[in-house]
Structure 1
């Protein structure tokens, strides 16, 4: 067998190995959400070994533990004004989730404010949310900017990005050992290649999807979607000089994000105008 034949054979073995891994993990293409006006339509691949119900149950337990810990540390919902503000915004956003995912209207949604210097907010699978005081005090977002953050995090939950990443990791971990044997490539090199070509690009995709859906949720809830642009201008200024280059990051750069959000916010602006028209 000459070198060219061996190369072709190794490539064929690699393709077969990937197909085998996908079969073993039971990955199937799904549409977790409707596309909405913003048009998020990417097919996602989930493993049958990672049921949505189990992910939500685990998330619920972790959330309960985290909330209990925060309470014990005196870091839970300390500022009544902040809590009232966050809950009011989340209520309006949650009222719009049926646009993308009707079943999410029945989730047991919950949101708390945690005392932490971290500039952060998140939404677990199943609708368990938290906003950190660092986001409120350091970024000082307007209500519309805060709605952009929370809409973004809600979108992650609606799209089941956590479950998708778990499924991807299962395929990756099982596939690396198979591909190492099939292609003769070391597991270490394969791992690095997978990180750059598979894990990181998909993570950036998740962030972009959450940005787009979050803007639409905010607009439908009556918050100016253009606030997402000013939010990321603030974020960019706050992280100036400390952010890694985009190609090594799991998040789009602030500049890229701002450009994309400018386009998206204009696209859903009529939804915002309709929402505020109804409220008058």
Structure 2
């Protein structure tokens, strides 16, 4: 397997295929780089170099007891991009991965990042607090913590249903996709997944978004039951060079269930 060892000794697994301008994919919680299979194949065939890593505590990366927070996630990406000497790179993040992209680009990406794409992203901040009164209540994340920490196998088996919008009228569960979600989740560390909930729900990316000079595309489904759609226009409004595309009826997991639409919209943006 291709891995690098970051400064605290944790091994980060990654895939690196092809040549050309690099696209780096950042997966969502609690998944792995495998969640980008469709995008990796599509953009590889378009002549890009495609790279995806398993976040620490996820997939095939090391299960460190420490560093399951957004600052460390971004620092790990910085070490990976430096090791691969990536420049003029496009960074694409889904959900938690969208926050990781923004934090990495703002803190470490100067001179290395050409464009960013945020899909169903947790930016600018998810949790309801004094400065974000329209956010998601803490009790929702506490329920996710309880299910993840103490009944993970069953909780992760049920979680893909709202994730992919299969609880909506006329939708049919795609069993292969559901089991692949469960497989990816169960590969990771229960501790990393438990602590990662705080990372994706309470991290505030407002200043990161404001600081970015690069073009950023924001994609979000209007029927997202995991990260509310209201996040997307708020994030786009904070960007100096942002563009928002919304999708009526699309779920949180739209890079998988609506891959053809998402991939083609990204390709048009990259070529514009």
Task: Give the TM-score normalised by the residue count of structure 2.
Answer: 0.28
Rg comparison, structure with higher value: 1
Higher helix share: 1
Higher strand share: 2
Task: Give the TM-score normalised by the residue count of structure 1.
Answer: 0.28
